[in-house]
Amino acid sequence: MKTAVSIPDEVFKEAEHLAKHLKVSRSELYAKALAEFVSRHSPDAVTDSFNRVLAELDDAPDPAFQRAARAVLEKSEW
């Protein structure tokens, strides 16, 4: 999708320099930057991803993990 935005001259110059340095188009740079910004400001997306993964996992605790965790906790000062 095409869109028009206004940005400060200095930001534009720095973005141009970075795009050339990374050897990507201005559009690709802006798209990646915006995607990263959106993902950083969408904490629900991260939580939803974790929840989907956890829902697919077997919920029975691993006995070996439980033994290892117990050994660590027994050595810890409370």
Q: What band does 10 get if pLDDT is binned at 50, 70 and 90?
A: very high
- The per-residue pLDDT for range 23-75, each reduced to its tens digit, is 999 999 999 999 989 888 887 877 888 888 888 887 777 889 899 999 999 98
Q: What number of helices (H) and strands (E) belong to the chain?
A: 4, 0
* Alpha helices, H only, 1-78: 9-22, 26-40, 43-56, 63-75
pLDDT at residue 60 in the model: 78
pLDDT at residue 77 in the model: 80
The alpha carbon torsion through 56, 60, 65, 66 (nearest 10 deg) reads 150
The conformation of residue 17, written as its DSSP 8-state character, comes to: H
18's CB contacts (< 8 A; 6+ apart) are: 29
| Total-model pTM | 0.55
pLDDT at residue 51 in the model: 86
